[in-house]
């Protein structure tokens, strides 16, 4: 991490990186199971699939592949249940909310780039009291991660060069998008990662095991003299 560029702005993935949304998504998934008179799945089983989206959760819950004729209706049911309770148990991961308060107070920019549709992301972010300078969702552009376009647009909105941005995520596609955007790629291992996934071969620049370790590291940049943070030389 010694060669890390100064983070003029930090961009976060949402689910599994900034916010622990798995409890509410797990409940929606199990309500789909309830609807089909199936026993509920263990929370940890569902948690590992959360980052893969609603279709993956339908396949997990009912064994229906996306090509199955009943898949779309099941996905709609699951997402409607989620929309009804998008921020009941979801919480910002430990350490990150106070870090963001300090980051904002220091005049530093931050944002969210997520593959979550705006319909669910906006009420979640608002309920949690988060105020990102940029919020890019799955339906804001014709492409989404791992395409770098959403990250690059977020950097433009924050008026920060991509090379001065850190992008933090819990999925291989997050690291791919960050690298393609020429941002510093920060992987977190506390997110929604299947047990069989090998994170060591992700194209990341660094890894953090916990959200508190990540927040402590970012806070360390705020504790540096101003000229070290913004690149100005002392007079």
Active-site amino acid positions: 13, 15
Q: Which residues contact 156 (CB under 8 A, 6 or more apart)?
A: none
What's the angle, vertex CA 114, arms to CA 129 and CA 63, rounded to 5?
Answer: 115
Q: Cα separation of 112 and 11, whole Å? A: 5
Torsion of CA 151, 154, 160, 166, to 10 degrees: -40
Q: Which residue carries 């376009």 as its tokens?
A: 149
End-to-end CA, the chain: 28
Q: Cα separation of 75 and 92, whole Å? A: 26
Looking at residue 192, the DSSP 8-state letter turns out to be S
Q: Which residue carries 């920019």 as its tokens?
A: 109
Measured from the Cβ of residue 183, the count of other Cβ atoms closer than 10 Å reads 30
């Amino acid at each position: 991490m010694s060669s890390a560029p100064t983070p003029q702005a930090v961009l976060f993935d949402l689910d599994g990186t900034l916010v622990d949304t798995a409890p509410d998504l797990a409940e929606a998934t199990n309500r789909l199971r309830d609807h089909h008179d199936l026993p509920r799945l263990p929370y940890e089983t569902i948690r590992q699939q959360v980052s893969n989206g609603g279709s993956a959760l339908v396949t997990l819950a009912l064994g229906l592949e996306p090509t199955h004729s009943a898949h779309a209706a099941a996905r709609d049911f699951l997402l409607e249940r989620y929309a009804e309770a998008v921020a009941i148990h979801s919480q910002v991961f430990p350490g990150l909310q106070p870090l963001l308060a300090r980051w904002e107070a220091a005049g530093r920019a931050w944002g969210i780039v997520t593959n979550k549709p705006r319909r669910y992301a906006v009420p979640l972010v608002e309920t949690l009291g988060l105020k990102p300078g940029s919020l890019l969702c799955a339906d804001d552009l014709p492409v989404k991660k791992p395409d770098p376009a959403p990250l690059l647009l977020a950097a433009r909105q924050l008026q920060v060069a991509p090379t001065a941005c850190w992008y933090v995520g819990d999925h291989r596609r997050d690291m791919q998008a960050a690298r393609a955007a020429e941002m510093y790629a920060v992987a977190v291992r506390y997110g929604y990662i299947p047990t069989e996934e090998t994170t060591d071969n992700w194209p990341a620049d660094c890894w953090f095991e916990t959200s508190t370790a990540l927040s402590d590291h970012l806070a360390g940049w705020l504790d540096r003299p101003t000229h070290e943070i913004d690149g100005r030389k002392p007079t």
